[in-house]
Structure 1
Amino acid sequence: MCLQWPAVSPDLAPIEHVWDEMQRRVRALPNQPVTLAALEMWLRFVTLLVTVTTCSSTSERFVFSTSTCPAPNECYCGSVVHCDQRGLAMVPTFTPSRDYFYVLDLSHNRINYIPARAFKGVNVSAIDISYNSLQLNMDDEAFVGMEDILGKLIVSKTSMTSLPRSMGKLRRLRSLIIDHTLLTSFEDLVLQGLRYTLQEIYASNSKLTSWPTSVSSLRNLVRLDLSGNNIKVIPPDAFVNSASELQVLNLQNCRLTVFPETITSLTKLKELYLGDNAFSVIPLPSFNGIAGTLEILNITNTAIRQVPNAIKNLQALKKLYLGSNHITATNVGNDVFDGIISTLELLSFDNCYLTHVPPAVVRLRTLRMLNLTANHLHVLDQYQFSKMAALRYLVLNENLISVIKHLAFSGLGNLTKLWLSRCALQYVPSGALGQPPNLELVDLSYNRITQLVDDSFPNMNSLKDLSLSGNPLTNISKLAFRGLATMDRLHMDDCGLGRVPKAIQYAYGLHNVDLYNNNITCDCSLKWIANWRASVGLIPHIQSVCHGPNDDLKCGCDLVTLLVTVTTCSSNQRAVRLFHQHVPGSQRVLLWIRASHCDQRGLAMVPTFTPSRDYFYVLDLSHNRINYIPARAFKGVNVSAIDISYNSLQLNMTMKRLSAWKTFLGKLIVSKNVYDHHCSSFLWGKLRRLRSLIIDHTY
């Protein structure tokens, strides 16, 4: 790839063009990565394909490669130089290299001093030295040599008290993250050196007690986060020079007693966060300068007692957060939303004092999400939301709702998700729930519902996810779920159930059932489950004789064990998912079992397991101090996945160690270890059913 740079170009570093080429190649992949791990894997591959040569007489060659690592042995390199979580007490000595890397990660160590020229010779666009010693200090020349390379610096969660002078010479620095530090001010000389390049400052939860005046020198500042400081007052000239480009301003929890009217000069502001402050009045002209640009406004948990009329002037507003204010329904003016009636998409009134839905709210015809959590609503009347045709998400959790009229949700043709958790419902509002034709999720958890009658959920032809968790269900009709042909997942955990409800077999599209934290007896009465699964073409992944109080009952049949109590490393038991295989064209059902974990127990060796014929989904031995896997360590333990990640850095295995797994192990996780790589290809080859192998961050 040949790149042309004119002699007067303001950007002579080729790394920007390399990133651009890499981005294009990743986007051209047939299967786009959807996780950070997958993205890093592809980046390692495409970087080997990108070679940039300048079209000049010197023909300098810039190669973005992973072939050499400038860090010492305790670190390792990919597209990121990983020196994090290594217990380092000082910055390691780096070998000068012409290779480019995305990040140098020195976070989560014990480094307490950054010496002069600490990073010289390391070509990275970002450095992360967060979460180090609480006594971290920096030499004024700490970043010498990084002036034309470094674009992002992260120094969070340290006790840094001042910005080193060399930081002001980082001519390409665009993002500065210095939150949770002991900074009391920003040095004028440092920020003046960054006035044309710095675009983002994150300095939340520091020790600022007054407005940092040097911020006004930043001509291209786009995002400023000073939340969690003790600023109290914003001076009128706070944004004299930086007002032209600022788009995001976060001043939450700054103890502001007066609304900062100076924000009206921020003519490009799109997001404004002023929650958790103490002002009680928002003057009418406060938003005049940003009326056509502001899209997100957060004024939660302040001292206001009514919806400010100034909001009606925000013609571009899309998201409005008013929660945790002492606002009653009578303090919501009928015309307060008139200016945004056709633009607002999200409105949050959670933790207020509404006793009914204000008329001004139901007139918002473009609203897609309405959050009324933790108010004082008692009754939902007929046609309560009928004018809100665009509404897709309605959150009514933690109210006192005991009555929902038959046509309360009529007219909500686009509603897909409805939350009614922790209310006072004593019955399923069948008629109301059947009104929205596209409802996919309904959460009725932790109400007072005691019974499910025949056809409790009529006309719900699109329902996929139903939660009844936490209800004291004592009577469930066999036909309670009849008609729910599309329901994929059913939550009935913590319902005090003593039996698996037979009603689930009439939800023909059901794939997942959550029944954990009940008191289900696993005896021969569960034979109907095996028959039901066989009748719909299911292949049980786990088969076992009954376990429970009737172990000695000679029923003469093999049953699916729903609840299996396992004696392993501790009595602390957690719910884990157990996936059942299925044949093509049929269903699969996910049931919950109970199992114990061996993770985070400080184990120095693999525990001795009691042989068992029961099958479990995972054996978790991660986050221990195990440094050796003996022969046949897991013989007699029937699991489909084993996790031995995050153990001793000297963890070793040989070919015999996995000999007992070869017929059933499907997934193996050995991340963050050092294992015997000389025989790894032979070792994995013996695992005939292994489908997933996770060995990242190893040697």
Structure 2
Amino acid sequence: MICARPNYPLVDTMDTRTVVLVSLVLLSWRSGATALANCPAGCSCNDDTLVVVCEESRLDVLPIALNPSIQRLIIRNNKIKTIDSSMQFYAELQHLDLSHNHLVNIPTNSFAYQRKLQELHLNNNKISSITNTTFRGLNSLTVLNVKRNYLEELNNGVFTTLPRLEELNLGQNSISRIEPGAFAGLTALRILYLDDNQLSSVPTPSFSLLGSLAELHVGLNAFSSLPDDAFAGLNRLTVLDLNGAGLSNISENAFRGLPGLRSLNLLGNRLNVVPTQQLSGLTRLEELYIGQNDFLELESHSFKGLKNLKLLDITGATLLERVQKGAFEDNVNLETVILANNKKLSVIEDCTLLGLPKLKHVSLRDNAIVTLSETIFIGKELRQLDLNDNPIECDCHMRWLQELLNEKSNFTQIQCASPDNLKDKYLKTLNAEDLGCIVHDTRQQTIICVVVVVSVATFAAIILMLYRCRKSMPEKLKDYKWNKGRKNLEYHKPISTEEDCIVRGIHPSQYPAPPPHTPSLRTIPVTEL
């Protein structure tokens, strides 16, 4: 005889397991109003703060017997491979961290019950794809971190179920293709990370949907060049990070349409010259990072147009040798200048940092600077100066810096590299004699100064006297010449023998009588002359 099989409803295996687990949870809570949830080994459960932390607990599945009212669940560094239906029991979650696990994919509707969830961290897993159903139900999500996974592309509408998302991190994946409508629906997005992917060009069409975006990080890709209007539509962008993007060419209007940009990072590219013309339109730019590029010098007016620039960082430019006078002449609001770790930088021309009244912080660390002129900057206005790790030659030309170091306690100590007798000594501890400066006796200098002053005064008095007498001088000279001529005539008139003798001291009786035939001389009156 064949017995008839009872007509029981068919129940899915997973549903049966879920029912059993739910029953166990309910039984555990029926034991008392203050009873604590079951906390797995290696986890920390706090029913007062409603926080559960399971870090490095060797979990391979999500725990199901936790307090259903928990708001923060942190399960980092475990071995979880998938998100199962146990998530439905934690509908009060606001923060979920599943980073550093072994997640390969995320089943559809995994977060259908997490309508209060605000932060979801899935970074450092093995997720290879996401769809427009992956994050369904997360209507309140503001932060999504999918950094360092295996994503290769972003399809249209993949984030349409996240209307309140403000920060999206897709960095360190393998994304090579982004469809134009990939970011549709992200009207509240303010921060986007696409750095360290495999993008060969800027996905300009997809950016046009992100009208509220304030920060964009797209460095460590392989752009090679930026075309005109590369970031069209991002007119609220304030931070643009192109660090290590592989740029060797930037078109003249690449940054057009970014009127509010405050910070630009061009560090670690392949630029041969400073893109002066391309940057000149960024009139509100305050921070510029442009080190680790291939330019040889900073020419005069290199940063023309950047009148609001406050911080300029040129670090690690291995080919940079010279900074010309006037390089920062257009940047009168500069507060911080960093020229560090440029192994060939040996020449900073005179007056390079003059005319910058707000300059407070200067770093010239780890360059090839041997000496500096006092006219490079007005050191007394600085709050910080770093000249460490330069081959400084301590001679009399550095006397000004030695005195400045004694005045400023917050300046870094500078060690001498040469000459040999001062090597490794601190410049601050040296005196004028150590630096080979000739110091004169102050009394001798005072006497010299007095003599010079008196001489100058005397000469000036003579010049003044001659100037005042310039009109009467010709008449006086004429009178002087006339009188002199008259006296000469008197000196040459004939005199009697008697007078002549008296003058010579001889008595007339002693003077010989004239020969008989000599005619007598007649005295000529003066009036006849």
Which of 241, 247, 253 in structure 2 is aligned with 1:377?
A: 247
Q: What corresponds to 1:469 in structure 2? A: 340
Q: What corresponds to 2:190 in structure 1? A: 318
Q: What corresponds to 1:419 in structure 2? A: 289
Equivalent residue runs for 1:35-434 within 5 Å: 163-164=40-41, 171-189=47-65, 191=66, 194-196=67-69, 198-241=70-113, 243-259=114-130, 261-290=133-162, 292-308=163-179, 309-329=181-201, 332=203, 334-341=204-211, 343-358=212-227, 359-434=229-304
Which of 511, 518, 527 in structure 1 is aligned with 2:383?
A: 511
- Unaligned 5+ segments in structure 1 are 1-140, 151-161, 564-699
Equivalent residue runs for 1:476-625 within 5 Å: 476-506=348-378, 509-530=381-402, 538=407, 560-561=428-429
The 1:390/1:507 distance shift into structure 2, 3 A limit, reads farther
Distance in 2 between the 1:411 and 1:552 partners? 52
SS of 2:159's partner is helix
Q: What corresponds to 1:125 in structure 2? A: none
Distance in 2 between the 1:145 and 1:167 partners? 21
2:99–2:124 CA contact under 8 A, matched in 1: yes
Deviation of the 1:262 alpha carbon: 2.4
**Aligned partner letter, 2:86:** S
1:319–1:346 CA contact under 8 A, matched in 2: yes
**Aligned partner letter, 1:285:** G
The 1:533/1:254 distance shift into structure 2, 3 A limit, reads closer
- Unaligned 5+ segments in structure 2 are 1-27, 432-529
Deviation of the 1:450 alpha carbon: 0.9
Deviation of the 1:458 alpha carbon: 0.9
How does the TM-score come out when normalised to structure 2?
A: 0.67
SS of 1:560's partner is helix
Distance in 2 between the 1:222 and 1:504 partners? 56
2:64–2:86 CA contact under 8 A, matched in 1: yes
1:523–1:551 CA contact under 8 A, matched in 2: no
Q: What corresponds to 1:641 in structure 2? A: none
Q: Residue 449 in 1 paired to residue 320 in 2? A: yes
Distance in 2 between the 1:494 and 1:559 partners? 17
SS of 2:237's partner is coil
Deviation of the 1:299 alpha carbon: 1.3
State the structure with bigger RCO (CA 8 A, min sep 6), 1 or 2: 2
SS of 1:444's partner is strand
SS of 1:528's partner is helix
**Aligned partner letter, 1:250:** H
Distance in 2 between the 1:307 and 1:268 partners? 25
The 1:340/1:230 distance shift into structure 2, 3 A limit, reads same
Distance in 1 between the 2:168 and 2:309 partners? 29
Structure with a larger share of its residues in helix: 2
Distance in 2 between the 1:282 and 1:474 partners? 48
The 1:148/1:166 distance shift into structure 2, 3 A limit, reads farther
Q: What corresponds to 1:667 in structure 2? A: none
The 1:148/1:482 distance shift into structure 2, 3 A limit, reads farther
2:237–2:258 CA contact under 8 A, matched in 1: yes
Structure with a larger share of its residues in strand: 1
**Aligned partner letter, 1:163:** P
The 1:443/1:289 distance shift into structure 2, 3 A limit, reads same
Please give the per-residue CA displacement for 1:656-678, whole angstroms capped at 9, x wherever unaligned. Answer: xxxxxxxxxxxxxxxxxxxxxxx
Distance in 1 between the 2:172 and 2:335 partners? 35
Q: What corresponds to 1:75 in structure 2? A: none
SS of 1:431's partner is coil
Highest CA radius of gyration, 1 or 2? 2
Deviation of the 1:229 alpha carbon: 0.7
**Aligned partner letter, 1:340:** L
Deviation of the 1:496 alpha carbon: 1.8
Distance in 1 between the 2:43 and 2:401 partners? 70
SS of 2:195's partner is coil
Q: What corresponds to 2:456 in structure 1? A: none
Equivalent residue runs for 1:20-35 within 5 Å: none
Please give the per-residue CA displacement for 1:129-188, whole angstroms capped at 9, x wherever unaligned. Answer: xxxxxxxxxxxx9xx9996999xxxxxxxxxxx8159977x5434222222332222332
Please give the per-residue CA displacement for 1:505-532, whole angstroms capped at 9, x wherever unaligned. Answer: 4466322111111222345543223456
Distance in 2 between the 1:494 and 1:180 partners? 42
Please give the per-residue CA displacement for 1:231-267, whole angstroms capped at 9, x wherever unaligned. Answer: 21212242232x2111111111220122153203211
Please give the per-residue CA displacement for 1:520-557, whole angstroms capped at 9, x wherever unaligned. Answer: 234554322345679xxx47799x9x97766979xxxx
Distance in 1 between the 2:145 and 2:410 partners? 51
Please give the per-residue CA displacement for 1:326-367, whole angstroms capped at 9, x wherever unaligned. Answer: 1112x62x43122212x0001110110112225341441100
Q: What corresponds to 2:20 in structure 1? A: none
Distance in 1 between the 2:158 and 2:271 partners? 37
Distance in 2 between the 1:175 and 1:485 partners? 52
Distance in 2 between the 1:505 and 1:436 partners? 20
The 1:357/1:547 distance shift into structure 2, 3 A limit, reads closer
Distance in 1 between the 2:137 and 2:345 partners? 58
Q: Percent identity?
A: 23
Q: What corresponds to 1:7 in structure 2? A: none
Please give the per-residue CA displacement for 1:412-449, whole angstroms capped at 9, x wherever unaligned. Answer: 23211000011111111543413111100011122122
The 1:511/1:362 distance shift into structure 2, 3 A limit, reads farther
SS of 1:289's partner is coil
1:454–1:482 CA contact under 8 A, matched in 2: no
How does the TM-score come out when normalised to structure 1?
A: 0.51
The 1:166/1:529 distance shift into structure 2, 3 A limit, reads closer
Which of 284, 297, 308 in structure 2 is aligned with 1:438?
A: 308
The 1:147/1:390 distance shift into structure 2, 3 A limit, reads farther
